[in-house]
Homo-oligomer: A and B are copies of this chain.
Amino acid sequence: MSNMGLSEKLREEVDSIWQAIFKHPFLVEMSKGVLPMKKFRFYVRQDYLYLTDFCRALAVAEGKIQDVKDLKDFTAFLYKEIALEIGGLERYAESIGVSTKQLSKSNYAPVTYAYTRHVLYSAYADPFSCFLSLIMPCMQLYLEIAKKIGDEEGIKKIPAYSKWLATYQTKEYADLVDWLNRLLNKYSQGSSQWEISRMRTLYLTSSRYEYMFWDMAYKLEGWRI
């Protein structure tokens, strides 16, 4: 237990939320191949807004990295895994009937807006260690989801879904998540109590937003007013 890295402890603390995500009708129906495409398209359009803001936030946070090797690695991550992935998502969306023009005209649903403000604000105001904690749930959750439902028969029947999930089933993606977890553990070494406490709050809040994101997509949720 005491040998556990901080990243594992953070993951453990929010396990009940993650289990609720795995059992959410959006993912269950997807794994059975019965999720209505309309809900998935809604998800993809919101995910595009999320991904572009995620790219902006990661860039801002990169400005705080002092170690030159980490600075170079993080820029490679930003380019290869995020910026190129924006293009990948555009092409994928096209394949399920959502044009890049439509993507660029999407409006933020309230959960997407709240989640991205959470990410963007932290990129400016928090220490880099805390920002890493905030982004981990997003990165790690997709790895776990891919493991959980990637081999389900249902999802294999729907090429649109299995193709989408394939992004998170590669060794490259697993290595990326592993690298980020190690980075988190490294940057949290010697952290003050306040910093550790802040990391836990941010990890928890991102986990909640991940749940709400799937829930929003399932409910095609718009603004209350």
List residues of A whose CB falls within 8 A of some B CB: 17, 20, 52, 55-57, 59-60, 62-66, 68, 71-72, 75-76, 78-80, 82-84, 86-87, 104, 110, 113-114, 117-118, 120-121, 123-125, 127, 189-195, 205, 208, 211-212, 215, 223-225
Partner of A225, one of B64, B191, B208: B208
Partner of A114, one of B57, B80, B114, B123: B114
At the interface, is chain A mostly helix, strand, loop or mixed?
helix
Contact A123 B63, CB 8 Å, known A190-B194, A192-B190, A225-B208 = yes
Contact A212 B224 (CB under 8 A): yes
The residue on B at minimum CB distance from A68 is: B52
Contact B104 A68 (CB under 8 A): yes
Partner of A113, one of B65, B190, B205: B205
Nearest CB on B from A110, distance (A)? 7
Query: Which residues of chain B are near A84, meaning CB under 8 Å?
Result: 72
Query: Which residues of chain B are near A194, meaning CB under 8 Å?
Result: 66, 190
Partner of A75, one of B78, B104, B110: B78
Contact B205 A225 (CB under 8 A): no
